[in-house]
Chain A
């Protein structure tokens, strides 16, 4: 009854997807941890190779996303501990950030909530199609479209691009941790 996986060669998938996964992680975590987390992604893929779905690429992004979220939780706990201890650290040391964007975009991005940022980043930075992003999140293509469109509208409104669009409520949240998601 168990479906045998197609004879996909792990090494081919590894070589094709590794640069994308590395970049995905690099956008979101401390540079010193990037390659370690990428190695974790592919170690999990190797261990579970017989169980991975036929569309491997979004599944790999999903694993990477979970590992990044775990890292953010760890970093947040550490940050709170350091704050209690009175130590200082660079507030921009982790999380997704723009490197060379205009100030209005940086400010608007900072005012988006985590859910909106994630939807936009999947498409605009990670190069995922709507169908792939939906697979990463474990939701339907249409549900992801709803999520992306709402996020885009909020960002557009924050940028002042349009005053005509209906604007859903914005949840001010300056953290970048992957705390949750819409399906």
Chain B
């Protein structure tokens, strides 16, 4: 049974499904096959060229931002002039480029997650070029919530083989980064650090969500900063890209869930009923400390605090899934 279907309310809704999915009737099958034949007989249109939707603005804003920073430093204005989101992000960008280059077989990220609907839980991931291991307490936190408990069941927390469960088997178990932009480790190394070129490439590569260019670019850029072995120069480029996204505002100094000092910037998608996304960053070293998601009314719904992000040479041994080999705990057990 799907883990979520342990909930009585959801089970009632499921049982009332107005159109259960069923095999096609003979007529439907025939029409579907005709459609497939028609499509297959049609040649596909040529790929569109690289988008330049953000490019010009990226160059202008980043160039302007660097000039502004230089002028501000030269004139001592940083002490008195109110900062803007662009200034903070460009400062973070400059310092991110100075981060040490670190290498290892795995890229390890440990995140502490707090949501408005589950007990806090932890997510650890060891990402290699060909798979990796995920230790995510999410299923246990969700199950605890369903049971009205605040204690995570250790039996539901496994070291999951990413090569087996989280990657496309037809892509040879290749790990991808950046959620909707989905780049491999090799591709990540090839991504340009120039903000104009990077912005254009991310815009072209991201799977469009229908939420608009700003949302897609924010999602792609923050995804790569949050959980990928992006090299320091690429991190600089990613912060610079975020600085170009229209609507990013400075929220000011804050502390993350672990008490680290940082600065928050955010972007508001509430006009689309998409809520508000915030990043807490440390401009002095270009680290992303925390991501926050707030609903349209400003209530904090989700916090992901990046506690550690570094290379590792070893990962823990993967365990079989909770529901046995080959099973998908989310779908059936």
Contact = CB atoms under 8 A, between A and B. Distances in A.
A155 B118 contact: no
B10 A161 contact: no
Given A54-B171, A120-B10, A27 B207 contact: no
Contact of A22 (B24, B118, B145, B272): B24
B16 interface: yes
Contact of A138 (B7, B13, B116, B210): B210
A49 B44 contact: yes
Given A3-B183, A6-B171, A180 B272 contact: yes
Given A46-B42, A124-B13, A54 B19 contact: no
Given A115-B273, A123-B10, A183-B269, A11 B19 contact: no
Contacts of B17: 27, 124-125
B211 A96 contact: no
Interface in A47-75: 47, 49-55, 59, 62, 66
A2 B18 CA distance: 42
B117 A125 contact: no
Nearest to A97: B18
Given A1-B187, A10-B40, A19-B24, A50 B182 contact: no
Interface stretch (B28-36, B54-62, B149-157): B28-36
Contact of B274 (A3, A142, A149, A183): A183
B184 interface: yes
Contacts of A62: 209-210
Contacts of A97: 18
B138 A141 contact: yes
Interface in A2-28: 2-3, 6-8, 10-11, 14-15, 18-20, 22-23, 26-27
Interface residues of A, number: 75
B45 A181 contact: no
Interface string B1-42: 010110111101110111111111000100110011001101
A104 to B, nearest CB: 9
B9 A156 contact: yes
A114 B148 CA distance: 26
8 contacts: A3-B183, A7-B170, A22-B28, A26-B19, A39-B35, A137-B209, A148-B4, A153-B117
Given A138-B180, A150-B117, 19 more contacts: A1-B187, A1-B201, A19-B22, A23-B21, A27-B17, A39-B35, A42-B35, A54-B182, A105-B16, A121-B13, A129-B2, A138-B209, A138-B215, A145-B117, A149-B145, A180-B273, A182-B273, A183-B275, A183-B277
Interface of A: 1-3, 6-8, 10-11, 14-15, 18-20, 22-23, 26-27, 35, 39, 42-43, 46-47, 49-55, 59, 62, 66, 96-102, 105, 109, 115, 120-121, 123-127, 129-131, 137-138, 140-143, 145-146, 148-150, 152-153, 155-156, 159, 161, 179-183
